[in-house]
Amino acid sequence: MAIPVLTSQSTYADFYVNFLLPNKFCLFSDELTVNWPARRLWTQPNGTVNIGALLEGFKEDGSLCVADCRRLEFGAHPTLNLSPSEYLSYWKSRKRHEDEQLLYLKDWHYFRGHEPALFFTTPVHFSSDWLNEFFAFRTDVDDDFKFVYAGPKGTWTPLHSDVYRSYSWSVNVVGVKRWWMFPPGEEKKLLSTQGHLPPDIRDRQFAFQDEDSDLPRCYCFDQFPGQAVFVPSGWYHEVLNLTDCVSINHNWINACNVTLVWNHLRQQLREVKTSTDDVKSTPGWAEACQDCLKAWEGWNYAEFFLLLKYVLLSRWMRLSGEGLREKLPQTALSSGAGLTSFRILELQVDTLLSDLAKASPDLVAHLRDTSRFSGLVDFLKQGIPSAADSPDKVEEWIRRHDLLECVRTLKDMFADSDFLQLGLPQRMPLHWLWEEAGMMS
């Protein structure tokens, strides 16, 4: 199948309209990352991985979680913990032990210990990132969705779709990867008679792009140093390192895929409820299902609701996450005795949003009637401002699109019986706002 490749001539507006909004896959040429310091710092003069430079500066008592690609357990590679020096020793001596272990350093939060700007700059095409922005804003957890992957030739990632139904982007800093990517729905053609997806599809046959076949349609391509892959929501993929490789990867959510993320979260809750249906008469079952959802999926309705309130506040007030954090009312902390750190943050956000709405009747009106986001519906039909328009104009359009999709998703949540059963909308001090906006009917 033909691989769409974007060059330096492709604008943010082009990518937003032609790939983000329709949830289509593409590959970016290496021009996108030509000035990244990481491409120089992590590459030897002969073009191979400078593993020593990559691991430099990490504390010896730190722990790296690595996957053994020689083994599969329940469709995934089992993991073990190594110190930086142990992994460095493995890397240097791995050819003597290839038949025993094939260790892949994955999902490494490298940039918690290093300043990202010293290694890379997030391409503008991927800059509308609710997920990492929200987690950087949060005071109750220290987490992000920014990773480094490092693995020798032959390491691989089993067939999967990305967490939360998020987008992801992956830049191969060093080495060559091979990808197999399936448009949404094609993965169903891979299901076994027991309804399970295979972890490894490299030996399968695939259909051509326009072929009417029971075989799955698949994009198979090689990714070279500096190139970036955009993985849309819900696209299953498997990745093999053809050489020793290092990559930088982000997961992210924005206005273009938030509906897909919400629908996936609802589906995951339905599966939790089905699996615990025999105890649904137990008091607190709905709340217990949310705990299970958090353990299984990584977050739950309360966290997703807080994400939407964060986006609503930050876009309406035109503030960064750091700027918004400075606005959080400290008076809310006085009532936080005995509350979890998440509940305290939730109370601070709710208080700030309540105060803002009381001072801004226009915000309440926009919550009540999304058509007040003037011109946005037309923009959605016609595309965002052309490449000839200023970056500021494009950025403003995306801010307004964020607001529109945030409010639309809030309305979808308020129409969900499981969400209402949790009592989250009834909590003070925001109950009046949802009533006033007509969401509680």
* Dist CA 350 CA 359 (whole Å): 14
Residue 136: CATH number of its domain: 2.60.120.650
For residues 163 and 296, the answer to whether their CB atoms sit within 8 Å is: no
The tokens for 13 are 């507006």
Domain for residue 85, yes or no? yes
The tokens for 240 are 């093999």
The tokens for 332 are 């809310």
Final residue before a domain boundary, out of 193, 226, 252:
252
* Dist CA 259 CA 253 (whole Å): 10
Q: Are 17 and 138 contained in the same domain?
A: yes
Q: Are 30 and 95 contained in the same domain?
A: yes
Instruction: Determine the pLDDT at residue 164.
Output: 97
Q: What's the total number of domains in the chain?
A: 2
Q: Are 214 and 286 contained in the same domain?
A: no
Domain for residue 441, yes or no? no
- Pairing mode, if any, of strands 245-252 and 26-28? unpaired
- The string of pLDDT tens digits covering residues 284-320 is 999 999 999 999 999 999 999 999 999 999 999 999 9
Instruction: Determine the pLDDT at residue 97.
Output: 67
Instruction: Determine the pLDDT at residue 369.
Output: 85
Q: Are 195 and 308 contained in the same domain?
A: no
Q: Are 310 and 262 contained in the same domain?
A: yes
Domain for residue 300, yes or no? yes
Q: Divide the 441 residues of the chain into consecutive groups of 10 and give the mean pLDDT of each group.
A: 88 92 97 97 96 85 89 94 92 78 94 93 96 96 96 97 98 98 95 93 84 87 98 98 98 98 98 95 96 97 99 97 95 71 95 97 90 59 59 86 94 96 93 94 70
Final residue before a domain boundary, out of 228, 252, 276:
252
3-state secondary structure of 5: strand
Domain for residue 58, yes or no? yes
Final residue before a domain boundary, out of 220, 252, 284:
252
Alpha carbons within 13 A on the beta-carbon side of 70: 10
For residues 269 and 301, the answer to whether their CB atoms sit within 8 Å is: yes
Q: Are 362 and 236 contained in the same domain?
A: no
* Dist CA 273 CA 280 (whole Å): 8
**How many whole angstroms from its chain centre is CA 354?**
29
Instruction: Determine the pLDDT at residue 384.
Output: 62
Q: Are 227 and 297 contained in the same domain?
A: no
Instruction: Determine the pLDDT at residue 211.
Output: 67
Distances in Å between the alpha carbon of 165 and those of 161, 227, 232, 257? 7, 23, 9, 8
Instruction: Determine the pLDDT at residue 215.
Output: 92
- pTM, full prediction: 0.94
* Dist CA 243 CA 432 (whole Å): 58
Q: Are 112 and 215 contained in the same domain?
A: yes
Q: Are 383 and 322 contained in the same domain?
A: yes
Range of the structural domain that residue 338 is part of: 258-436
- The string of pLDDT tens digits covering residues 23-41 is 999 999 999 999 999 999 9
Q: Are 235 and 268 contained in the same domain?
A: no
Q: Are 57 and 78 contained in the same domain?
A: yes
Residue tagged 């052309």 (tokens): 386
> Which bin fits 137, alpha (ψ -120 to 50), beta or left (φ > 0)?
alpha
Q: Are 179 and 306 contained in the same domain?
A: no
